[in-house]
Amino acid sequence: MADTAANVLLQPGTKAPDFSLHSTPDQLVKLSDLRGRPVILAFYPADWSPVCSDQMVLYNEMLSEFSAYGAELMGISVDGVWCHEAFAKANKIHFPLLSDFEPKGAVARTYHSYRAAEGVAERSLYVIDGDGVIRWSYLSPVGINPGADGILDALDALGVKGGAA
């Protein structure tokens, strides 16, 4: 089933679908509000799972490297905002975790990053340029942390390092 999803992930050159998702009960993050800078979307299955925890903690440790490109990082799962808040606090996460809770997985579905059989997001990554165009997408096997090398290579390819302070 993952092979089918890999064939349908949104591809480079595609305009990134806009969305608004809650980062807290009273704060919405809208993708189009981030135009002008690169955006990294990290879809992941669930807070508290071992691989997801490792992946989000790794990205948190790399925030300064992503920031050197002027990039904004956002994690997205179908967990609710309260779950995200507890997970972020426990793991000292300092980037937004967006709740694709209701309607469940609507944004993940738009990005072809939803595992309908399990009701969770795929473990997929997108790098979107400042014009809102997807420049890199990657689907990782659900049980494997994809790391950050692909993200850094995609940001390098944008040629924006040092472009934002």
Instruction: Find out whether 50 and 73 touch, Cβ atoms under 8 Å.
Output: no
Q: Within 10 Å of residue 84's Cβ, how many Cβ atoms?
A: 23
Q: Which residues contact 77 (CB under 8 A, 6 or more apart)?
A: 43, 44, 45, 46, 47, 52, 84, 97, 98, 99, 100, 120, 121
Token representation of residue 147: 């790391």
- 21, 52, 97, 121: which one is catalytic? 52
Active site residue 83: no
Q: What is the rounded CA–CA span in Å between residue 132 and residue 31?
A: 8
Any idea which residues carry the catalytic annotation? 52
